[in-house]
Structure 1
Amino acid sequence: MRVLPIDQRYVLDILMKLLHTPSPSGYTDRVVHVVCEELKRLGVPFELTRLGAIRATVRGAARAPARAIVSHLDTLGAQVKALKPNGRLEVVPVGHWNARFAEGARVTLFTDGGSHRGSLLPLKASGHTFGPEVDSQPSAWNNLELRLDEPLGGIEDLMKLGIYVGDFVAVDANPELSDNGFINSRHLDDKAGVAVALGTLKALHDTRPTLPSDVYFLFTILEEVGVGASAVLPDTVAEMVAIDNGTTAPGQNSAEYGATIAMADSSGPFDYHLTRRLLLLCKEFGIAHQRDVFRYYRSDIAAALQAGHDLRTALVCFGIDGSHGWERIHWNALESLIGLLSVYVQSGAMFQREREALGPQDGFPIQPQ
């Protein structure tokens, strides 16, 4: 068992491709096709749920107990709430993000028959007109409007373009890679996690190690609105590791370097034994890491557990500064996560008794006293 070689150019290229593919929750078909085509290139068989969540399968020596690695394809965005008499659009957020990060964003509006470019602006956007009121107006979604780059004078003009309430708005990612390893962009949550998953699959594809049991790579499409990995898990999975962002902010222990192992989030603690397995792998293979607990956070795991799946869960994170806004990460964190996941999938399942959903007391672990 070893840390597998990582194709950095591949990981960064696929990350850029994902960031340039709009995918707000509820409008994810395009990014699903992007990932499906990538899985085909890597020779990884996969299946789709009715809504488009992806389950890719890497076969191991045994079918069970299987493991799963999950990341989500959907991002934050917006929807049209109302057509306004001034020819602009009222919008509401898709997912939980603050209106201050929407102000000034360049966006694409998707209608039933096409798309239009525009900008999200405060109602009082011109300092030459409103003076100090530009600074004193509150930052709130009901204080924003979408200005489309079209000749529009009122509601009738909007309707002629085929614009309706409920149309989706995708926010430009505007990614930027720095020579020193920093990556700035919107939607790194969780396009960076998807790139980590695909980077791990690329490492498995290039080296072909024998895995002790099946590993499923799951890509969900509704995590930002709370659905997550609720309907894509096979019954043989006993352990699931989610890849998502860890917030580097005051009061948090996450970092933009190394792997962050989450011990708990707002839905409760992660599995004691699985988190310690990941921590031990980090120590054994010299992977920089830290632990953290998140107060205002939930992931694909919460949705899976709430849907009734009985399995051990863990969350591994790339440290992200400015989460759900102008986000920043560092390549070192992505590299660390791929290294960790590459040895995790080569390691055996923790408890063979978990081949079946129910079993005897024999083989059930005990936590230290």
Structure 2
Amino acid sequence: MTLSDAFLDQARSNRSLGSPFTARVLTLLADRLAPGNPVVDRMNDWPGDIGNRGASLALRLLGGLHWLVLAGDCPDLAACYPPNPRPDDATLIAALDRALAEHQPTLMRALDYPPQTNEVRRAAVMIATAHWLAEQFGISRFIASELGAAAGLNLMWDKYRLDLACGVFGPRSSAVRLDPEWRGPCPPDAEIEVIDRRGADLHPIDPHDPDDALRLTSYLWPDQPWRIERARAAMALAGATVDKADAGDWLAERLATLHPGTIHLVTHTVAWQYFGEETYTKCTAAFDAAGARATDDAPLARLSMEGDDRKGEGAPIILTIWPGGHVIKLGRVDFHGRWVDWNAPAHLPGKPRKKLKPKE
């Protein structure tokens, strides 16, 4: 895939995800990637998969441009961005060219980081999965862990309100409200208590640090202000520790101890593609070793939401549960959590579900 093709492919994805402005920016940039600019040269020399199933260079540069706008460092570009009136192509191209020519340190810095959107609406799947697991095992206490956790916003899933036509899950007073289009059966209703939450990331973000919060916001698209508002509400609630660590080594240590009477739920969402082969191997070994020790009183669950080859159809929701190593396809979710196709089975294969006391 050429760099121009990667930008055009990402533009199509952004358009399908409801962001015509960023799709337009990426399309215009695809014709402006000639060698000679240090930022462009670095992208052209990038090793490995540069597309949206790999390094996502287009999203890295897009985040860097939004970073300039949010910081107020590039007024010409800011004047072209929402909520300002739509500029003509010539004006937008001139602003993009100026940003590439005059703000290379910021754009180079943006290329250093994989996109870390911490898309909060994905937490709807975590909430539903936790309720389903609680009913299956008759256990309400959870340990929450996340690989590629960025700012740890989705480690706070139990603090968010999930509004579905069939019911409300989570604290009703939460400032973070999730209301995806829900297709499928309603999740079971159960009391949930997270007793410990922690994540790992090579480049953790502190949501309470102004510069880090700016970087996190830069990955959200300017013509979708509701995503920015929701992320800022989640930042205000953030309280999870995210360790600066490789996911493989960190996970082995995190899973080393069993916690009877507790479900350990490990999540990763659009993060696995950024891990190297050594990290893949270590994570897999850590899951296998911990899964061999898991019991019905101390189960381990791995929740994955990662892209596959079905473009435009979101990501598969895959849950692996130990003991037993059961792999369950729970459905699919839009990458930004706009909709969830939920297809959880009534009970775990070979195990009758256990009824929890319903919430009062």
TM superposition score normalised by structure 2: 0.24
Radius of gyration: which is bigger?
A: 1
Higher helix share: 2
TM superposition score normalised by structure 1: 0.23
Q: Which has the higher contact order (CA 8 A, sep 6+)?
A: 1
